[in-house]
Amino acid sequence: MFESIKDQIKNINKIVVVTGAGISQESGIPTFRGKDGLWRNYDAMKLATIDAFYDNPKLVWEWYNERRKNIFQAQPNQGHKAIAELEKYAQVIVLTQNIDGLHQKAGSSKVLELHGSIVTIKCSVCDYREEILTEISILPPLCKCGNILRPDVVWFGEILPQNVWKNAIIFASQCDLMIVVGTSLVVSPANTLPIYAKQNNSFLIEINPENTDMSIDMDLVIKNTSAVALPEFVSLFKKNSYD
């Protein structure tokens, strides 16, 4: 699967892994865009915009309670674990579009959450922010300041956390290797990260069961799942460390 690059492994020191919903789908978390996606029974615009939230915060929170319950029960798969294991052999930064915290649960120490975290709740007005791992019982929940609390995620039409995004660009621009895993690369601006890496002459690997719009720009395309492909990729580093 990775035989064509086994000789390059010894020259790789900085790895950036860009992950999307596909890797979490392997842990039982539905994607937005797949046939079993989260949008199947709902209009996305009624659930994932700030206007929709203010229009019907109880409905949005009911949906997010279900998502939180599903995510808290989910466990990292072999793809998540392989990314964490890579830290034994190189400097690894994970830039994820996922909001589920599974990379951290798997043991990855340097994770930038581009779209926020469903674990964290924040006030829609003041600076209150807190990780809450239990079901939200009163809907919609209210802050001590009296305003509505919301999931600390990036909704459609909102900008990414700018400090996170600026650091993501820096890491993407400095890596030797970028691995793009389980993302269709259609969501902006995260889909520009491979461009920053390419400008640094980084080697680009895409791992996805299906081609994406950027497959043609990759140096190596692996049409497989992350749970299958990533452990095999890590094995190259293991072999190299023994040589």
Phi, psi of 231, deg, nearest 5:
-60, -35
Could you write out the DSSP letters of every residue in 172-201? HHH-SEEEEES--S-STTGGGHHHHHHHTT
How far apart CA 242 and CA 52 sit, in angstroms, is: 55
- 129-131 and 149-153 beta bridge pairing: unpaired
The DSSP 8-state label assigned to residue 152 in this structure reads E
152 forms bridges with which residues in the sheet? 117
Select which of 67, 115, 150, 198 is catalytic: 115
121 forms bridges with which residues in the sheet? 130, 151
115 is annotated as an active-site residue: yes
Q: Is the dihedral of CA 196, 199, 201, 203 positive or negative?
A: positive
Q: Which of the residues are catalytic?
A: 115
